Structure 1
Amino acid sequence: MILGADLLRIEDLSISFAMLGGRVDAVRKASLRVSPGKVTALVGESGSGKSVLSQAVMGILPKIAVASGRILFNDPLDDTQTDILKLSHDGPDIRAIRGRRIGKIFQEPMTSLSPLHTIGDQVSEVLTIHEDMSKDERYERTIEMLRLVGFPKPERAFRMYPFELSGGMRQRAMIALALICRPALLIADEPTTALDVTIQAQILRLLKDLQQEFNMAMLLITHDLGVVANVADEVVVIYHGEVMEAGTVEDIFRRPTHPYLKGLMAAVPHFDMKPGERLKALREVPVNASQLLGKSGGKEPPGPEILLSARDLSKSYKVRKAGFFRQPDETPMRAVDGVSFDIRRGECLGLVGESGCGKTTVSKMLMRAVTPDAGSILFHDRQGPIDVLRAEGAQLQRLRSKIQMVFQDPVSSLSPRMTVQNILSEPLEIHKRGTPKSRLEMVSALMEVIGLNSRYLNRYPHSFSGGQRQRIGIARALALGPELLICDEPVSALDVSVQAQILNLLKDLQKDLGLTYLFISHNLAVVDYMADRIAVMCAGRIVELAPREILMGAPVHPYTKSLLAAVPFPDLDRPLDFSALQAANASDMRNWSAPFREDDDGHGLATADLGDGHLVLARNNADVRELRP
């Protein structure tokens, strides 16, 4: 292939950082290309060098970075070739390319957008820097771009601040900012990692449409093979800074050759897994739960079949409509609306739904971190039932030790000022368990259980990887020997290979310690792997609840069907149907079929029993036989 045929060609790129402990090689002799109008996916785990490579293309490497090789950008606008590595970081030449000819979407839109400026100001600022336009022309171009990326009222969005937008809408604003100058190349760095499956489908469809409309090339950085299979034309697999395999999407998925790529594919949970089949993590974590048996009450006599019962839980929040210096006009927003379910002892109940549907609010009610407006929660302990909402004194203390939580973010949920030993021993100290010597023994046993060496006890959280930090969070939750573990998106921030480690660890612990899980996630493939039964939440209500195999194989509710239709499969033979996908309206009741919609007065829905534990929210007068698939 002649050089001019590539929009971007990277040749023998090496990037290293001079650190106190010695030189760190982030990228080693990497070579790849991006063709005009095509999507090249750069796939790899965290720490493999993907983002550093993208920084080099944008000319925003840190000053301590040492780079060699060539990054050749062939601009079709003026038919010139530029070696980006030779340009000064702040010179006029790189500024003419960066933001104007090469745009970038960053992974976390909340930290990438300024909280002090409106969306319109931030998007139009790019035009101020790169284009010779009047203020009115900049406004019109910005409004047009906001409309193109899917803002229904772009004039209103122009005046809004980032914190007023949802995660999906912030990502749309980030895309508008990157594309406002119509660049030849778009670098998308994990653009859908933290988004719900339906929002992810919207963003992927949007990127695909805009790429075709602008005839734009894209370098897509991701670790999600499902996204790659649905969007990419070519794939480059990188590991520890080295390119392991590269080729067309057909070659990579149908004929993978490198063991690392095969390992990545085997680590992805999918809907075709057989009962009892185990994810193949790249690096298995040895689990020794026998260390805790007898210390944390792992194998105890069986208790009541129902471990926890929640009935008619409701919670409303008042939304402030006025400014700080005026009398607030407060209108209640119902976050949870009449939620009822049971968690059986020893099972894993999955709770799925989009962001904002009330999943985390429900979990906080079970932990008594949020008080519901109405409803009841009963925890059926082996010593007798506990009214969660009214427990006090010793009973509340006992309840706290029986229900523990594993949080979504392994970074912010661990104190940066405490060593691992202090983090793991803190619950034991609060609940006055044992002596200092026995606590140290327990902490060492917990480290053994999660597959970390006890010599790491004096380290701080920042010295661990994301997966290791999440394992420490799990160990902390296990310290008091709980009966119910609430896992709130425990793997959403992790790579697919580390995710497989954590999911296998949780399954092993459930089997060995007799744990019960409430597993909250928006990743349906993960829930399918973990859960025995699945509850689907939408707009504060549970719209469908069924055993895993029934819900995944024969869903009834339109919202459940929309969620499943939006899941990107790492399989070329099962592509997302972007033309038929109504992901943007999945939670809009007006698009549901008549049996699942409320009456005009906002009432008339009840839980219908379809048999075999399959419950669905439908109209009072709906015929159960018609609801069955």
Structure 2
Amino acid sequence: MDSSTDLLRIEDLSISFAIIGGPIRAVRHASLRVLPGKVTALVGESGSGKSVISQAVMGILPHTAHVHGRILFSDPATPGTTVDILQMPRDGREIRTLRGSRIGKIFQEPMTSLSPLHTIGNQVSEVLQIHTNEPAAKRKARTEEMLGLVGFSNPRRAYDMYPFELSGGMRQRAMIAMALICRPALLIADEPTTALDVTIQAQILQLLRELQTKLNMAMLLITHDLGVVANVADEVVVIYHGEIVEAGPVDAIFRHPGHPYLKGLMAAVPHFDLKPGQRLAAIREVPVNVENLLGKRKTPPPKGQDILLSVKDLSKTFTTRKSDWLGKEQKTTVRAVDGVSFDIKCGECLGLVGESGCGKTTVSKILMRALTSDSGSVVLNDDAGPIDVLAAQGAALRTLRTRIQMVFQDPVSSLSPRMTVQKILSEPLEIHERGNARSRLAMVKNLMQAIGLDQHFINRYPHSFSGGQRQRIGIARALALSPDLLICDEPVSALDVSVQAQILNLLKDLQKDLGLTYLFISHNLAVVDYMADRIAVMCRGRIVELAPREVLLRKPIHPYTRSLVAAVPFPDLDRRMDFKTLNLGGAADTSAWGPQFRDDGEDNALAPLDLGSGHFVLARRTTDIRELRP
């Protein structure tokens, strides 16, 4: 292999960190390359060493790191010159000249990577101020040009905005602008789309591809999403526990995977072609044992009496107040939930999908009584009779708290760092006065056994567990009170694909063994397709389509649903995303919808139309149903 053609070449790289008890070997003899103008994807789970390699390339490893090997960078701006980044003095002039100017980086979490005290324009133009001698006016002009290039519709206005005023997708675009403002030869993108909606992710991927072509830039893409890799990468490098286990062109990697780890990663990805009842092949399966947990499976109620939760015309409005420079107060009203209605049957999983800001989490908070709705009704059909969820007080509300439990999105922030696992799992039992100290300890051990964690871990704190293990603890806490309904709010969005498969299989096993009912909230349609029996699609506070899983994702009717499905990246080279058909304004841009789906304020209002077989779509009342069939 001719190394002179490589833009970046990493040879025999080993990185270890000195800690008490012995060094941690994060990277072991890793070798890879990035070709000019090409995309190399570095794929692996959390903790495999991906981000550590990117930090070594940028020269931002902590002082505790011990590094061996070579990182060779051949800058096209200086033909015939190759430098070893590891030989440069730490924080010296040479590495600071490269970093940010010739090698740019997009970090994973834009909210923590951007300063909350400075405007977007200030932060992007700072890179030019450091690396060029251009006057302030020209820096501002170049910054506004770059903001326009990455998709800001009004770059001049965006220049003066602060990060908290932008959505997650817009913040990520600002990070891309900052990384590209000096037109680097190499861009390192560290999980650039992990926490984004599927439609925003598609826009960011399209943007990166276009900019890469326009700027003739190479990219090192760090990710665990094989769907993203299949749609963007030219070459793939697979890393496992710090070692490169497989590398090659994307075609060879996907069509003829060789290493068992790569095959396991591919089998763990949920996709629309899974057959009914087929399980995800998790790399490390979680044993489930619920025999001592909650007794026998609940007997399903007779047909006609099988509605567990009934939601009718739920609405919620938020009002924000903002004062201008004269002190005059301005009120802005946002209708977060607008006439939402659905039923959840006993033992089923209802999926609730939609982009961030569509109202999914607001609905879940109303069901949990964390928020008060403006109008509507929610009825939970308990064994002792129906409970009015929105009006419950005193003993009725206390009973309701045990019947509905929640699994949160972020297992780190939802578990107290000051409490052991035993305390976390026994706290719900103590609050609701279930049993004594001995029976609670026995219940905690049974819960640990049910989620596949060793009982000896009960005296550990959350920080000593991995992300997947913490999420299992969150699930166990939700199960402690034997609930009827479990609300899962993005329970796997922050997890690796292999750990995600573990949690999804665990949830399905618990549903089967305990007769649980789920409201499963997610923006990942492939995950919802695997978990749900029926799916409700939410847009701008309204449910625009509701149907059985096999109908909705294979024959979607509403333009918004179609946009969501089209934006899902498949880990399949024969089913690449069609970037040309994606709506750049976002899936919720009603201008791209047909007139029968738009509420233009006329007398002909929108209403759920019954297409048969439990399939409903939000359209104008006078719409001919035959026109809507695919």
Place the TM-score, normalised by the shorter chain, in its bin.
Answer: over 0.9
Whether the 8 Å contact between 1:194 and 1:492 is mirrored in structure 2 is yes
**Partner residue of 2:318?**
317
Using the alignment, how far apart are the partners of 1:216 and 1:553 within structure 2? 37
1:594 Cα deviation from its structure 2 partner: 1.4
**Aligned positions of 1:42-81 closer than 5 A:** 42-79=42-79, 80-81=81-82
Relative to structure 1, is the Cα distance of residues 507 and 302 closer, same or farther in structure 2, using a 3 angstrom cutoff?
same
**Partner residue of 2:503?**
502
Using the alignment, how far apart are the partners of 2:25 and 2:189 within structure 1? 23
1:323 Cα deviation from its structure 2 partner: 4.5
**Partner residue of 1:172?**
173
Using the alignment, how far apart are the partners of 1:495 and 1:6 within structure 2? 30
Using the alignment, how far apart are the partners of 2:284 and 2:214 within structure 1? 42
1:626 Cα deviation from its structure 2 partner: 1.3
**Partner residue of 1:520?**
521
Q: Does 1:575 align with 2:576?
A: yes
**Partner residue of 1:562?**
563
Whether the 8 Å contact between 1:103 and 1:187 is mirrored in structure 2 is yes
Whether the 8 Å contact between 2:300 and 2:306 is mirrored in structure 1 is no
Whether the 8 Å contact between 1:41 and 1:232 is mirrored in structure 2 is yes
- Letter of the 1:384 partner, please give it: G
Query: In the TM superposition, what whole-angstrom CA distance separates every residue of 1:486-528 from its partner, at most 9, and x where no partner exists?
Result: 0000000000000000000000000000000000000000000
**Partner residue of 1:260?**
261
Relative to structure 1, is the Cα distance of residues 325 and 27 closer, same or farther in structure 2, using a 3 angstrom cutoff?
farther
Query: In the TM superposition, what whole-angstrom CA distance separates every residue of 1:337-366 from its partner, at most 9, and x where no partner exists?
Result: 000000100000000000000000000011
- Letter of the 1:286 partner, please give it: P
**Partner residue of 2:358?**
357
**Aligned positions of 1:205-604 closer than 5 A:** 205-294=206-295, 298-299=297-298, 302=301, 304-323=305-324, 326-601=327-602, 604=605
1:208 Cα deviation from its structure 2 partner: 0.2
**Partner residue of 2:621?**
620
1:582 Cα deviation from its structure 2 partner: 1.3
The 10-residue stretch of structure 1 (600-609 or 384-393) with the greater mean CA deviation from structure 2? 600-609
- Letter of the 1:299 partner, please give it: K
Q: Does 1:126 align with 2:127?
A: yes
**Aligned positions of 1:22-33 closer than 5 A:** 22-33=22-33
Using the alignment, how far apart are the partners of 2:474 and 2:306 within structure 1? 28
Structure 1: gaps (5+ residues): none
Which secondary structure does the structure 2 equivalent of 1:280 belong to? coil
Whether the 8 Å contact between 1:562 and 1:583 is mirrored in structure 2 is no
Which secondary structure does the structure 1 equivalent of 2:18 belong to? strand
Query: In the TM superposition, what whole-angstrom CA distance separates every residue of 1:129-181 from its partner, at most 9, and x where no partner exists?
Result: 00110001101100000000000000000000000000000000000000000
- Letter of the 1:446 partner, please give it: L
Whether the 8 Å contact between 2:267 and 2:282 is mirrored in structure 1 is yes
Percent of pairs identical after alignment? 73
The 10-residue stretch of structure 1 (194-203 or 72-81) with the greater mean CA deviation from structure 2? 72-81
Using the alignment, how far apart are the partners of 1:388 and 1:158 within structure 2? 46
Using the alignment, how far apart are the partners of 1:15 and 1:340 within structure 2? 54
**Partner residue of 1:11?**
11
Which secondary structure does the structure 1 equivalent of 2:46 belong to? coil
1:300 Cα deviation from its structure 2 partner: 5.1
Relative to structure 1, is the Cα distance of residues 133 and 348 closer, same or farther in structure 2, using a 3 angstrom cutoff?
same
Query: In the TM superposition, what whole-angstrom CA distance separates every residue of 1:187-240 from its partner, at most 9, and x where no partner exists?
Result: 000000000000000000000000000000000000000000000000000000
1:602 Cα deviation from its structure 2 partner: 8.2
The 10-residue stretch of structure 1 (251-260 or 77-86) with the greater mean CA deviation from structure 2? 77-86
Relative to structure 1, is the Cα distance of residues 180 and 623 closer, same or farther in structure 2, using a 3 angstrom cutoff?
same
Which secondary structure does the structure 1 equivalent of 2:329 belong to? coil
- Letter of the 2:301 partner, please give it: P
Whether the 8 Å contact between 1:198 and 1:584 is mirrored in structure 2 is no
**Aligned positions of 1:113-192 closer than 5 A:** 113-192=114-193
- Letter of the 1:106 partner, please give it: F
- Letter of the 1:19 partner, please give it: I
Relative to structure 1, is the Cα distance of residues 15 and 313 closer, same or farther in structure 2, using a 3 angstrom cutoff?
same
1:333 Cα deviation from its structure 2 partner: 0.7
> Structure 1 length as normaliser, TM-score?
0.98
Whether the 8 Å contact between 1:585 and 1:591 is mirrored in structure 2 is no
Using the alignment, how far apart are the partners of 2:323 and 2:394 within structure 1? 41
Which secondary structure does the structure 1 equivalent of 2:336 belong to? strand
Query: In the TM superposition, what whole-angstrom CA distance separates every residue of 1:417-452 from its partner, at most 9, and x where no partner exists?
Result: 000000000000000000000000000000000000
1:290 Cα deviation from its structure 2 partner: 1.3
1:301 Cα deviation from its structure 2 partner: 6.4
CA RMSD, aligned part only? 1.1
Using the alignment, how far apart are the partners of 1:436 and 1:277 within structure 2? 41
1:258 Cα deviation from its structure 2 partner: 0.3
Which secondary structure does the structure 2 equivalent of 1:610 belong to? strand
1:583 Cα deviation from its structure 2 partner: 4.7
- Letter of the 1:5 partner, please give it: T
Using the alignment, how far apart are the partners of 1:432 and 1:328 within structure 2? 48
1:302 Cα deviation from its structure 2 partner: 3.3
4+ residue segments displaced more than 6 Å: none
1:599 Cα deviation from its structure 2 partner: 3.0
Using the alignment, how far apart are the partners of 1:361 and 1:491 within structure 2? 19
Which secondary structure does the structure 1 equivalent of 2:612 belong to? coil
Using the alignment, how far apart are the partners of 2:604 and 2:200 within structure 1? 28
Structure 2: gaps (5+ residues): none
Using the alignment, how far apart are the partners of 1:599 and 1:2 within structure 2? 62
1:327 Cα deviation from its structure 2 partner: 3.9
1:394 Cα deviation from its structure 2 partner: 1.1
Whether the 8 Å contact between 2:313 and 2:375 is mirrored in structure 1 is yes
Using the alignment, how far apart are the partners of 2:546 and 2:341 within structure 1? 10
Query: In the TM superposition, what whole-angstrom CA distance separates every residue of 1:228-262 from its partner, at most 9, and x where no partner exists?
Result: 00000000000000000000000000000000000
Relative to structure 1, is the Cα distance of residues 15 and 269 closer, same or farther in structure 2, using a 3 angstrom cutoff?
same
Whether the 8 Å contact between 2:604 and 2:621 is mirrored in structure 1 is no
**Partner residue of 1:195?**
196
Using the alignment, how far apart are the partners of 2:297 and 2:387 within structure 1? 20
**Partner residue of 1:41?**
41
Using the alignment, how far apart are the partners of 2:157 and 2:615 within structure 1? 43
Query: In the TM superposition, what whole-angstrom CA distance separates every residue of 1:57-114 from its partner, at most 9, and x where no partner exists?
Result: 0000000000000000001101221100111221000001000000000000000000
Whether the 8 Å contact between 1:292 and 1:298 is mirrored in structure 2 is no
Using the alignment, how far apart are the partners of 2:553 and 2:583 within structure 1? 19
Whether the 8 Å contact between 1:126 and 1:180 is mirrored in structure 2 is yes
Using the alignment, how far apart are the partners of 1:151 and 1:321 within structure 2? 23
Whether the 8 Å contact between 2:42 and 2:238 is mirrored in structure 1 is yes
1:412 Cα deviation from its structure 2 partner: 0.2
Count the aligned residue pairs. 627
Whether the 8 Å contact between 1:223 and 1:496 is mirrored in structure 2 is yes
Whether the 8 Å contact between 1:199 and 1:584 is mirrored in structure 2 is no
